[in-house]
Amino acid sequence: MLLDGKIAAALLADTGLWRDFNDICDCGGRLAGTESEKRAFTLLRERVRAASPANAGRSISVPYGGWRATRATLRLSDGSLAACHPLVRTIATPADGLAAEVIDLGRGTPEEFEAHAADIKGRIVLVRHELMFAAGTIHRRRKYDMARAAGAVGFLIAGPLAGHVVAGSSGRQSGEGIAALGIAPETAARLARRATGFPTVTMTIETAEAPAETETLLYDYPGKSDEWVVLSAHVDGHDLAESAMDNGTGLASVLAVTRALAPQVANFRRGLRVMFFSVEEWALTGSAQYVEQLGAAERGKIALNVNLDSVAGSSSLAALTSGYAEVEPFVLSVAEANGSAVRTVRPLMTNSDHANFAAAGIPALRLVAGFDDPAANLRLVLTPADTRDKVGQADLRSATLFTAALVAAACNAEPAEVAKWRPSS
């Protein structure tokens, strides 16, 4: 359970961790389909090759519905323009815009949608972006779906950070949908209902859609058996900033753990499979395609998926165990043996690639920093403030050390222990 002293020392001395994190941020926000995303893949290839020149890895093609917004504006009733950001895969509006009344549903809970069911049809729904890494969070995509189902013609979501818009995906795959924009909290305040009625806005969105292709990168480091522990992180992000916490931290951490463990894995009971997914921010598409094509036997050979998404930006670390209760004592024992404080959170949260593994019956967890901490820098994820200055080097290093300990322990866990992780079917 205790991470091998030599591996720990190598990780503590690895200057590549901070270099990689900064280099990934330098690639830009990595929105899928942009040059920024391609630069990040090139960088990841180069860094893995430097760590293990003999391992060429494998690129898996990922076809998806390509999309970009060529124009997005939000005009208020006084004629002024408010800052806005198109949600990923929003539909376009008519060329002269979509003008409609705005109904403010506050946070956008199911209760609020229900109580206002008769008021929503034909209007634009306004809701708030919530701290994503907290118990009881209602995901933006659920609110978008509730707005659509109630007959809304548009969707506005207000970010948490004064003066800044918020990004995110609408979750729409193809076909029908409603126009969707992220806005700043000050704009939302101006759209409050008045005694005289609902305020009117005009949303104008132009998009270009075409079939597109990205990739999943996979590197296998075999152990002594044909079983695997999958260590994953998503490459893509949003074009507001650097997507530093989400998920520059996870990528840099996976690279460092790969450097440290790759030379050792041949002596481990199970192999290490390193995976870099994309179009995660587009409804977890890359990992969905990978897990979907795995046969039952291949799924059975994956002992555990450890998915790193936003692992620094706070000193607190949580393992979201996706309903796999028996994984929790294992995670906690690794944390205790290595002097890390890690909390486990059980409900399945479909907020990153681990959810696709978990849904397919593969024990899976996501490591995330700042869970349930409204003051943590993680509250700034999906805003232009998700920049590298929000990440402490010491936090990134401790998350990386814990990941290495967890992955090494999972690779070497007794078969009886690993069998317990999978609920008997």
Q: How far is CA 88 from CA 2, 12, 141, 280, 321, in A?
A: 42, 38, 11, 12, 28
Of residues 112 and 236, the one with the C-beta less far from Zn ion: 236
Q: In angstroms, give the least distance from the CB of 352 to Zn ion.
A: 5
Q: Is 249 in the site for Zn ion (CB under 5 A)?
A: no
Of residues 144 and 268, the one with the C-beta less far from Zn ion: 144
Tell me the window of 40-48, 66-74, 244-252, 292-300 that interacts with Zn ion (CB under 5 A).
Answer: 244-252
Q: In angstroms, give the least distance from the CB of 162 to Zn ion.
A: 23
The beta-carbon contacts of 33-39 under 8 Å, at least 24 apart in sequence, are 33/66, 33/67, 33/68, 33/212, 33/214, 34/239, 36/239, 37/214, 37/235, 37/236, 37/278
Angle, vertex CA 209, rays to CA 68 and CA 97, nearest 5: 70
Q: Is 37 in the site for Zn ion (CB under 5 A)?
A: no
Q: Is 309 in the site for Zn ion (CB under 5 A)?
A: yes
Q: Using CB under 5 A, which residues numbered 40 to 99 contact Zn ion?
A: none
Of residues 265 and 368, the one with the C-beta less far from Zn ion: 368
Q: In angstroms, give the least distance from the CB of 236 to Zn ion.
A: 9
Tell me the window of 12-20, 140-148, 215-223, 303-311 that interacts with Zn ion (CB under 5 A).
Answer: 303-311
- Residues binding Zn ion: number (CB under 5 A): 3
Site string for Zn ion, 109-148 (x = CB under 5 A): ----------------------------------------
Q: In angstroms, give the least distance from the CB of 234 to Zn ion.
A: 6
Q: In angstroms, give the least distance from the CB of 247 to Zn ion.
A: 5
Cα–Cα distance between 255 and 261 in angstroms, integer? Answer: 10
Task: Count how many residues are written for the chain.
Answer: 425
Angle, vertex CA 289, rays to CA 286 and CA 294, nearest 5: 130
Cα–Cα distance between 394 and 392 in angstroms, integer? Answer: 5
Cα–Cα distance between 200 and 84 in angstroms, integer? Answer: 16
Cα–Cα distance between 78 and 290 in angstroms, integer? Answer: 49
In whole angstroms, how large is the CA radius of gyration of the chain?
22
236 closest CA partner among 214, 253, 219? 214
Q: Is 247 in the site for Zn ion (CB under 5 A)?
A: yes
Cα–Cα distance between 253 and 313 in angstroms, integer? Answer: 13
Of residues 93 and 249, the one with the C-beta less far from Zn ion: 249
Of residues 191 and 284, the one with the C-beta less far from Zn ion: 284
Q: In angstroms, give the least distance from the CB of 310 to Zn ion.
A: 6
Of residues 215 and 246, the one with the C-beta less far from Zn ion: 246
Q: Is 246 in the site for Zn ion (CB under 5 A)?
A: yes
338 closest CA partner among 15, 11, 4? 4
List beta partners, residue 330: none
Of residues 123 and 354, the one with the C-beta less far from Zn ion: 354
146 near 180, Cβ under 8 Å? no
Q: In angstroms, give the least distance from the CB of 172 to Zn ion.
A: 19
Tell me the window of 38-46, 71-79, 103-111, 305-313 that interacts with Zn ion (CB under 5 A).
Answer: 305-313
Burial (CB < 10 A; 0-12, 13-18, 19+), residue 67, is buried
Write the single-letter amino acid at 303. Answer: A
Of residues 239 and 246, the one with the C-beta less far from Zn ion: 246
Q: In angstroms, give the least distance from the CB of 259 to Zn ion.
A: 22
**C-alpha 338, offset from chain centre:** 27
Q: Using CB under 5 A, which residues numbered 383 to 402 contact Zn ion?
A: none
Of residues 331 and 381, the one with the C-beta less far from Zn ion: 381
Of residues 239 and 309, the one with the C-beta less far from Zn ion: 309
Tell me the window of 7-15, 56-64, 304-312, 406-414 that interacts with Zn ion (CB under 5 A).
Answer: 304-312
216 closest CA partner among 406, 364, 32, 20? 32
Q: In angstroms, give the least distance from the CB of 400 to Zn ion.
A: 17
Q: What are phi and psi of 405, to 5 degrees?
A: -65, -40
Q: In angstroms, give the least distance from the CB of 331 to Zn ion.
A: 20
Write the single-letter amino acid at 293. Answer: Q
Of residues 381 and 418, the one with the C-beta less far from Zn ion: 381
Q: How crowded is residue 204: how many other Cβ atoms within 10 Å of its Cβ? A: 21
Q: In angstroms, give the least distance from the CB of 381 to Zn ion.
A: 7
154 closest CA partner among 126, 173, 130? 126
Q: Is 242 in the site for Zn ion (CB under 5 A)?
A: no
| Contact residues for Zn ion, defined by CB under 5 A | 246-247, 309
